[in-house]
Chains A and B, each alone.
Chain A
Amino acid sequence: GQQVMQIPQYQHVQEGEDFTTYCNSSTTLSNIQWYKQRPGGHPVFLIQLVKSGEVKKQKRLTFQFGEAKKNSSLHITATQTTDVGTYFCAGEGSRGAQKLVFGQGTRLTINP
């Protein structure tokens, strides 16, 4: 079945440093979504990427979708303490599959 691998599992940075998490799928995806889960909270949608090679930016966050639509990355520039949380990628195998498979997540902690 479809598997989504995400690395690293943990990342600790100094405030102001950059952060990147990578996501790889065993199968081609119709789209990939990114979610952030704060400690004790629930996953909150950040963005969806659909097109091959797509790049989207949200302020300090940059999201990329690979050309083969099997990998993705999230890069945060100049981290802030508010960025703390676990970042999950989630892939949909086929459009309208009603099944989003999550990666293992990357837990980001920040030293102020």
Chain B
Amino acid sequence: EIVLTQSPATLSLSPGERATLSCRASQTVSSYLAWYQQKPGQAPRLLIYDTSNRVTDIPARFSGSGSGTDFTLTISSLEPEDFAVYYCHQRYTGYTFGPGTKVDIK
């Protein structure tokens, strides 16, 4: 099973700051990686798929990059509604999620 590791576990930032979230796979997932956002009491929302493709209606401040085993989700300037938990997800071999990164307000 491919294990996804996310870092940091918690990211404390202020609105307007840049957020950089990391996801590392235990073996290559090629470009088959996605990012989800989840707010308390809500279902997850798909933000980015196939490493860098933004879903329709997702703001341009969200971007994804990487390949193979190392991936990054960047939020260029945090808005108040961006404080949430972010999960990476691979479907290259089986399907697994990372443990999540919580982005909270500093």
| A, B from the same assembly | no
Q: B-side interface residues toward A, CB under 8 Å?
A: none
Q: A-side interface residues toward B, CB under 8 Å?
A: none
